Chain A
Amino acid sequence: EIVMTQSPATLSVSPGESAILSCRASQSVYSNLAWYQQKPGQTPRLLIYGASTRATGIPARFIGGGSGTEFTLTISSLQSEDFAVYYCQQYNKWLRGSFGQGTKVEIK
Chain B
Amino acid sequence: QVQLVQSGAEVKKPGASAKVSCKASGGTFTNHVFSWVRQAPGQGLEWMGGIIPVFGTADYAQRFQGRVTITTDESTSTAYLQLNSLSSEDTAMYYCARTQETYQEIGGLPLMDVWGQGTTVTVSS
Chain A, interface size: which category? 20 to 34
Residue of chain B at shortest CB distance from A99: B45
Asked if B44 and A101 make an inter-chain contact with CB atoms under 8 angstroms apart, the answer reads yes
Q: In the complex where A34-B111, A49-B111 touch, is A97 in contact with B35 (Cβ < 8 A)?
A: yes
Asked if A46 and B113 make an inter-chain contact with CB atoms under 8 angstroms apart, the answer reads yes
Chain B contact residues: helix, strand, loop or mixed: loop
> Which residues 1-54 in B have Cβ within 8 Å of A in the complex?
33, 35, 37, 44-47, 49-52
Query: Closest approach, in angstroms, between the C-beta of A3 and any C-beta of chain B?
Result: 11
State whether the Cβ of B83 lies closer than 8 Å to any Cβ in chain A: no
Asked if A94 and B107 make an inter-chain contact with CB atoms under 8 angstroms apart, the answer reads yes
Asked if A95 and B111 make an inter-chain contact with CB atoms under 8 angstroms apart, the answer reads no
Chain A contact residues: helix, strand, loop or mixed: strand
> Which residues 66-108 in A have Cβ within 8 Å of B in the complex?
85, 87, 89, 91-102
Asked if B115 and A43 make an inter-chain contact with CB atoms under 8 angstroms apart, the answer reads yes
Asked if B47 and A89 make an inter-chain contact with CB atoms under 8 angstroms apart, the answer reads yes
- List residues of B whose CB falls within 8 A of some A CB: 33, 35, 37, 44-47, 49-52, 58-59, 61-62, 95, 107-113, 115-118
